[in-house]
Structure 1
Amino acid sequence: MSIETPYLLYLGHSTDPVEIKTSRGIAVFRREICVGEFRHDDCPLTLDLPRLTFAEAVQQGAKTLVLGIANAGGTFAKPVIEDALAAMEAGLDLAAGLHQQLADQPAITGAARRLGRKLHDVRKPSPDLRVATGAPRTGNRLLTIGTDCSVGKMYSSLSLVKGLTERGVTADFRATGQTGILIAGAGVPLDAVPADFISGAIEELAPARSDAGWDIIEGQGSLYHPSFAGVSLGLLHGAQPQALVLCHNPAREHMRHLPGYALPDLAECLAANLAAARLTSPNVRAVGIALDTSSMGEDMARRLCDTIGASLDLPCTDPHRFGVEAILDKLLAKDESGIQAVA
């Protein structure tokens, strides 16, 4: 069942910018299908879209309220359920990507039946999952990896797709999270896939290809995050990537939601990911570092990119702020054997 657009993006009572990453991602990469945002007076955040009530959004053509929030645990708080019910009464369908499903909320399902509204649970994997084989497959695949959760892996992936396309290189975004799926219209909600099937799901998401194009696979989690390392490892093996881009937020003081765990050293993190990826992709290589510098001034951000790039001997940039040209130069350059990497 396809999700009808335009969207009204939900911020609700959120105060943490990271928690609204789904709504923000859609606003950045699919702004043309968004009529506005819904937020309460105690929400200090904005996507710079018109602030609308549910009724006003319907009057302006909105079809679906995207509950684009991602709280710890992925649960439906009581205020969110209350807003969801009010949105349906106003005439909106619902889409959500939380671990808890809309279809499992009795108040929401009851109202949907009564009002004839559609419910879309994005974080619902296919029932036809299979175990990975690890068999070598043709094609070019790049995977974004991270030092932590929510450090720009999706933004970097989409920026790389855009950059490759502008160079005339075929590139396809392979979404593995709720935001990416809502942007791309398809994908695998990887953190909802049973552990035994994670690698197999990615093998199906990015199968063998015989052209010179690239699959840019959206990374998830971090090998160094105690909560989500299993997902990251399965993704590394299933992606069978030729190239890795390491994403990092230099302003992060500790692992997200885990104050007792420090962020890993960049070189150590990159080495660990390369080692793990070699199980299914022996010739994998690192082609760049992607920073989220949104919390710092431009001069400081550029200096940091230069410093980190020099220390790791890799191009380093903020993809959303400064572009990805240097990473693409590295990705598409001839390797030491003289073989064009894109071929």
Structure 2
Amino acid sequence: MTGEPILEVRDLCVDYGLGDRAVRAITDASLTLHRGEVLGLAGESGSGKSTLAYALTRLLRAPGVITGGEVRFHGRDGSLDLLAADAAALRRVRWNQISVVFQSAMHALDPVARIDAQLTDALRAHRSGLTAEQRTGRAVELLRLVGIDADRLRSYPHELSGGMRQRVMIAMALALDPEIVVMDEPTTALDVVTQREILTELMRLKDELGFAVVFITHDLSLLVELADTIAIMYAGRLVERGPARELFEGPRHPYTVGLLDSFPALHGERVRMEGIPGSPPALTALPTGCSFHPRCPFALERCAVDFPPTATPAGGSAVRLAACWLHEGGRELPAPLARSLGSTL
């Protein structure tokens, strides 16, 4: 299904601000993205998903500061440490090998520039040998690739629907045949029909062109059928990750259980939605121990004191990881965490 690693993130840490007033936004994040894989990042708003994605691509804006870790990209031109790369090396990689579909196409597109100018901008910067006619031809090809007629090239963003603007953003990201596409909530504010069309188109393009995807969303239900691997974030930490189907059928962290129980099943009996009590903590005042313990229905005394290590829970495959004290010592697990693989939600 997937190939060798193309992006390896190890112990990445990100702060906002400097000195005594710095706030830790990402703590010791480690991930591996394989060629052709869709890696989903899920969690509530403010959990650190976008910060993690922009940090590993070195697009993090001030006052964001990367304070530790390693991000290694294994591209077609060799291996590169993205955190140690200079401006020239980053320019060669960005958009050319790693591209981004930014959140909210309404604001990501330049409102006073026509679509053709915005599509050919990356071609002009990275393919200087192309003529104007060749760049226009590539722009037409890109629009058709995402299901938009070529006569829309001369349109302004406000003349397109929300779904069409999002498709233009995807076309821009694919302009230079990148190896990785980072998608930051690309279907936000779209109706469910348009959302489904865009996701279907995205999967078709991924299979056709062979790029890997980092897909960021707060909607875990999207990732169940979209992603190969899912990583769950809470308060700046990765608390669980594993194969999408395995995580869906047998969650091993109480926060993941809460996220899965926050959307209704399409089949079966009607049940009362429970959700997750409380709100995510402020990064300036994180609880001691496990950050989730004030909201966790299964919290132990130790959860309020020590943050649990990330380890493979019992009954999971070798690639399953969860950070929860409930999996230590062979204790009997609460029923939601003991859910066997192959069961239904």
- TM-score where L is the length of structure 1: 0.31
- TM-score where L is the length of structure 2: 0.31
Higher relative contact order, structure no. (Cα contacts within 8 Å, ≥ 6 residues apart)? 2
Which structure has the highest strand share of the two? 2
